[in-house]
Structure formats: structure tokens, C-alpha cells
Amino acid sequence: MEYSVLSNTTQFYFFMNVFQLVGTPRSEYGKKAAKALRQEELVPCNLYGLGENKTFTVAENDVRKLIYTPDTMAVELTIGEEKQMAVVKELQFHSISGRVLHIDFLAVDEKKSVTVSIPVKLEGLAEGVKAGGKLALQARKLKVNGIYTQIPNRVVVDVTSLGLGKKIAVADIQLEGLKLMNPADMCVAEVKATRQSKQA
């Protein structure tokens, strides 16, 4: 898998994988029609960003690997005879069963920037943890804006040099060619003091 290591060597990332998904154009609308589709294990979907929105369905089993993954993926949608790259914009789940009820996709291309949320993963044994502190991940996802082909599926932050009582903020993370949309002072990870570290 292709990856890029940044100059400060504290963050690196893998570019988004492409997930292939086949959809069927949808002709019937409304709650009754949507309920009937779900009984057939089909998921109603919308595709935005192309001027005219498209409505379609996908098989519930076909989207499991897209939805139940920690990584962010680009989606190659095939709807009828048309293909379009997209990203997941919004997911709706059943409050009790957890089944996916609806998916909104946003069309993307290599000329238009898009904002997506990507997961954060911490790597390394922090110096502060060696001193008795506890490492805490405070931001599980970050909002990143850029061309979809340059957006990572996750950001891996090396916390090896993070000392006791220290933190990594959004401003400390540099992703080449991309813009982080979260507040610059938002804490991403920190090493908190514990009773053990205070007694040391």
C-alpha cells in the first residue's frame, strides 16, 4: 500500500483505498417504499454533488466492509451504466438493531476539494507513559479538506517523544497538501499524570 512520511516524521498516512460498489437506480420513493426495500435487505442511497441528485439502492451485505471499518475509503460507484467516484457523507442506523437504514454519498473528482472525517491512530510508547502517565486519545477523528486522492484513510501519530503532562494538538499535525478543519488548539492526544507518576 502506498504511503507518505512527513518531514517531521511524527505523522504518516496511507492514502484512501478504493471500494467498489454497485447500485441499482431507484424509481419508488417514500417511507413505505423504503421500508419494503429494507425488507429485501436493500439500502436506500442518495448521491449528491453532480447537480442533479441520484437515488439508488445497494445490497446491505455489499456495504458491510465499507461501513464497518476504521478507515476512510473512496467509493467507486457503478449505478446502471455510469461510474462515479464518491465518499460517504452521512450514515443512518436503526437505533435498536444497528442496521444501516440510509447512506448519502458525495461525488468527488480530482479538481474539487472535499471535507471528510478520518480516524486517528496513536503509535509508539510515549516517554510520559514510561514515567507512569496514561496516554489518552482525545480526538478519534479529524476533519480534513483536500482532493480526495490525497486524503489519507487514517492518520497515524507517533507519540514516542510525548512527555508526561504534554499533548499533541491539531496545530502540531502537518498533512502535506491538506487542510485540517478542526480548531488548531484542539487536543488530539495527551499523557495524563497518574497517582503513580505524581509519587515518583
Instruction: Give residue-wise pLDDT tens across range 66-93.
Output: 888 888 889 999 998 889 999 998 888 8
Kindly state the cell numbers that stand for 69.
Answer: 471499518
170 or 4: which carries more pLDDT confidence? 170
- Check whether residue 121 and residue 135 sit in a common domain: yes
Same domain (yes/no): 119, 100 = no
Question: Tell me, what's the pLDDT at 11?
Answer: 46
Quote the number of domains for the chain.
2
Residue 176 pLDDT class (50, 70, 90 cuts): confident
Identify the domain boundary among 78, 109, 140. 109
Q: What is the CATH number for 162?
A: 2.170.120.20
5 pLDDT exceeds 60?
Answer: no
Asked if residue 28 and residue 10 are part of one domain, the reply reads: no
Contact predicate 23/43, CB 8 Å: no
DSSP state of 177: T
- Give the predicted TM-score (pTM) of the model: 0.77
Rounded to an integer, what distance in angstroms lies between the CA atom of residue 194 and that of residue 132? 7
Q: For residues 30 and 96, state if they share a domain.
A: yes
Residue type (1 letter), 145 = N
Asked whether the predicted pLDDT for residue 12 surpasses 70, the reply is: no
pLDDT at 10: 40
* Of the candidates 61, 68, 27, the residue with the CA atom closest to the CA atom of residue 43: 61
Helix (H), strand (E), coil (C) string for 53-103: CEEEEEEHHHHHHHHCCCCCEEEEEEECCEEEEEEEEEEEECCCCCCEEEE
Share in percent of the chain as helix, strand, coil (round to 5): 15, 50, 35
Share of the chain above pLDDT 70, in %: 89
H/E element, 196? helix 195-199
Place of cell 476533519: 143
At residue 14, does pLDDT exceed 70? no
Q: Which domain holds residue 102?
A: 16-109
Residue 21 to residues 35, 53, 78, 117, Cα–Cα distance (Å): 22, 18, 6, 20
Yes or no: say if 83 and 54 are a contact pair by the CB < 8 Å rule. Answer: no
Specify whether the CB–CB gap between 133 and 192 falls below 8 A.
yes
How many other CB atoms are there within 10 angstroms of residue 9's CB atom?
8
Domain edge (last residue) among 109, 127, 146: 109
Q: Is 88 found in the same domain as 28?
A: yes
pLDDT > 90: percent of the chain? 34
What does the pLDDT look like over 119-159, one tens digit per residue?
Answer: 998 989 999 898 888 999 999 999 999 998 888 888 888 89
CA proximity to 46, closest of 98, 93, 107, 99: 107
